[in-house]
Amino acid sequence: MFIIGERINGMFKDVAKAIKEKDKSIIHDLALKQISCGANALDVNVGPASANPKEAMEWLVKTIKEVTDISLAIDTTKQDVMELGLGLCESKPIINSVNANEEKMKTLFGLAKKYNAAIIGLAMDKAGIPKDSEGRMELAMKMVASCMEYGIDISELYLDAVILPVNVAQPHAKEVLKTIRDSKLLADPSPKTVLGLSNVSQGSSAKHKSLINRTFLAMAIANGLDAAILDVTDRELMDTLITAELLMEKQLYCDSYLDAYRRK
Amino acid sequence: MERLIEKWQDKISEVTLGAKKIIKIGGETGIYFIEGEDKCPNPPRVAMEVWDMEPESWPEVLKSSFGKALKDPGDWAKMCVDKFLADLICLRLASTHPDSKNTSGEEAGKVLEKVMKAISVPLIVIGSSAPEKDNEVMAYCANIAKGQNCLFGIATQANYKTLTAACLSAGHAIISEAPIDINIAKQLNILICDMQFPADKIVIHHATGALGYGLEYTYSIMERTRLAGLSGDKMLSMPMISFAGQESWRTKEAKTGCMDTGILWEIATGSAYLNSGVDILVMNHPKAVEEIKKAINNFTSRGA
């Protein structure tokens, strides 16, 4: 499982404060903590309230680079912020994200090619998020075709079926699971699959968020999920991830399998 | 037709053995003997077994190769290196077993010193497979050989702490053994590493089975271990050792067959393990050693 740590996001108060006050220590700590908990890459999002997103992205990426050379997922909807972020990365970056809008695909697959970046493709377009798996697959297919058109290795595409909060869009969870399963049939070699996991529990009571996240993660792994953007510091979530992968035979069993995974 | 070359994400750890003459084992980034894939910096090595007493249970055809040297572990070890070109010597402290001569750690230590003086190649030192006695003897011997960077064995899941601590303080590498069980092998390596023992000083032993006595089973576990190690499982990415000689000469075919049967048994068993990815083969008969060394040379140079 390729794990992208979600914590460096301006939607979190501590990160917003760090950006505002240029407090590097908060960002350094978050980067190193997520890596020690098992992150393979770090998501970087300046947050919706940022007054100067370009400046904030540059500061965040440079600040993270002071303590690690891990891959970064540049998470923004703004093209100029995306390109600035990608240009600052030395390790292979990840574009978070493209969707099935023609214009978006043209721009972002072009950037993926230019910066040799992996790319997360959201199964949505101008009309929004389809209500069922068939609609999501149609958009996924568009992105796969576009990926090929731009000469990008299909295994660099991470399809995100887009999970919605269970408290407002309950029927979506099983449609997302079906999309994860079916995405593997779109091409050979197949595109990868990813989830922005925490969205599933957005708005649910704080008491249940972690439980909902880890339950859905186990279900998604059983359906073949390759990657996830999640709260890597949630110990129970990570234990579930490791155990689900063990049951899918991604790791050899031993009595200390949790420790063994974390030694990697 | 395009030939597909497997690319592995990880490598096997490289274990350095010896002090006077240094040998490296492991370090593979692919499977041995597959052209284009076998980026293996260190070829498999052959160790010869030397006992601290004359091995009464050995058949005549095996004993006769060493003559009087069998009575003196130093001479025996020297003969194995000088005459039979052993890469390493494996000293088995068989006499320390309570059911054998029950010799003490001090006596075993004297034999060890003698062997160390006689040869310069790296040394493997193993006990008598009596757990409690081994703990006493091996801890003493590990200290005697301090600084010699030997490979000490054998740690098992039920009995690994004393040996691990002894090897850690004396700077030796360790053999971790599981009963042909890959899950226990992994677990034991974790337990040993939990004692702050460096992972790059562990050599895995999957209790060897000779031809006709579980060879296929051991082979498949060894192959799985190697594939897991190359695929990124850090607790299985260690070099492997196999006691092909000992197991072959235990078979009834080797003991009762015609003169060459045991030798052929040892060659067949050893060459099968070579293909499973073994890094050290511990062998007994000089003729089998010669043939296995030829095979390694032929496989690595592909007959060129």
**What CATH number has the domain bearing residue B103?**
3.20.20.20
pLDDT at A174: 98
Q: Which of A251, A254, A264 has the CB atom closest to B187's CB atom?
A: A254
* Per-residue pLDDT tens over the stretch B134-181: 999 999 999 999 999 999 999 999 999 999 999 999 999 999 999 999
* Per-residue pLDDT tens over the stretch B73-121: 999 999 999 999 999 999 999 999 999 999 999 999 999 999 999 999 9
A86 confidence band (pLDDT: 50, 70, 90)? very high
For an interface test with B, the pick among A1, A155, A246, A252 (most B C-beta atoms closer than 10 Å) comes out as: A252
Structure tokens at B117: 């003086």
- Lowest-pLDDT range, A21-30, B35-44, B106-115, B218-227? B35-44
Instruction: Tell me which chain B residues have a C-beta less than 8 angstroms from the C-beta of A253.
Output: 183, 186
ipTM value: 0.75
Q: Say which DSSP state B151 is in.
A: E
Whether B236 and A252 lie within 8 Å, measured CB to CB: yes
Query: Is the pLDDT assigned to residue B299 strictly greater than 50?
Result: yes
Amino acid at A26: I
Short-list A151, A111, A105, A147, CA closest to A124: A105
In chain B, the number of structural domains is: 1
User: Please, what is the average pLDDT of chain A?
Assistant: 96
CA distance A175 to A131: 8
pLDDT at A50: 80
The answer to whether residue B6 sits within a structural domain is: no
Bridge-based pairing state of the strands B14-17 and A227-230: unpaired
Q: Which of B191, B193, B228 has the CB atom closest to A252's CB atom?
A: B228
B240 confidence band (pLDDT: 50, 70, 90)? very high
Residue-number span of the structural domain to which B71 is assigned: 14-298
Query: Is the pLDDT assigned to residue A102 strictly greater than 90?
Result: yes
Which of A:200-259 have CB within 8 Å of B? 251-256, 259
**What is the average pLDDT across A97-104?**
95
Bridge-based pairing state of the strands A227-230 and A192-196: parallel
pLDDT at B304: 35
Instruction: Tell me which chain A residues have a C-beta less than 8 angstroms from the C-beta of B191.
Output: 256
pLDDT at B294: 95
The answer to whether residue B304 sits within a structural domain is: no
Query: In b/e form, how buried is each residue of A128-145, taking b as 16+ CB within 10 angstroms?
Result: ebbeebebbbebbbbbbe
CA distance A189 to chain B (A): 15
pLDDT at A203: 95
Query: Is the pLDDT assigned to residue B301 strictly greater than 90?
Result: no
Whether A254 and B190 lie within 8 Å, measured CB to CB: yes
CA distance A184 to chain B (A): 22
User: Please, what is the average pLDDT of chain B?
Assistant: 93
* Per-residue pLDDT tens over the stretch A123-175: 999 999 999 999 999 999 999 999 999 999 999 999 999 999 999 999 999 99
The answer to whether residue B200 sits within a structural domain is: yes
pLDDT at B258: 78
pLDDT at B32: 82
CA distance A256 to chain B (A): 6
Whether A256 and B182 lie within 8 Å, measured CB to CB: no
Whether B186 and A259 lie within 8 Å, measured CB to CB: no
**What is the average pLDDT across A234-259?**
96
Hey, where are the domains in chain A?
2-262
pLDDT at B303: 38
CA distance A87 to A4: 20
Whether B187 and A263 lie within 8 Å, measured CB to CB: no
**What is the average pLDDT across B38-59?**
91
For an interface test with A, the pick among B4, B11, B186, B200 (most A C-beta atoms closer than 10 Å) comes out as: B186
Phi, psi of A135 (to 5 degrees): -60, -40
The answer to whether residue B7 sits within a structural domain is: no
User: Dihedral angle at the C-alpha atoms of B227, B231, B237, B242, nearest 10 degrees?
Assistant: 0
Alpha helices of A2-132 — where are they, by DSSP H?
A: 13-21, 24-36, 53-65, 79-88, 102-115
Instruction: Tell me which chain A residues have a C-beta less than 8 angstroms from the C-beta of B234.
Output: 260, 263-264
Instruction: Tell me which chain B residues have a C-beta less than 8 angstroms from the C-beta of A256.
Output: 187, 190-191
Q: Which CATH class is domain A2-262?
A: alpha beta
Q: pLDDT above 90 covers what percent of chain A?
A: 97
Instruction: Tell me which chain B residues have a C-beta less than 8 angstroms from the C-beta of A252.
Output: 182-183, 186, 228, 233, 236
* Per-residue pLDDT tens over the stretch A26-46: 999 999 999 999 999 999 999
Whether B234 and A263 lie within 8 Å, measured CB to CB: yes
Whether B232 and A264 lie within 8 Å, measured CB to CB: yes
CA distance A119 to A137: 17
Query: Is the pLDDT assigned to residue A91 strictly greater than 60?
Result: yes
pLDDT at A264: 66
Query: Is the pLDDT assigned to residue A176 strictly greater than 80?
Result: yes
The answer to whether residue B245 sits within a structural domain is: yes
CA distance B101 to B175: 25
Query: What is the CB neighbour count within 10 angstroms for residue A262?
Result: 14
pLDDT at A37: 96
Whether A260 and B190 lie within 8 Å, measured CB to CB: yes
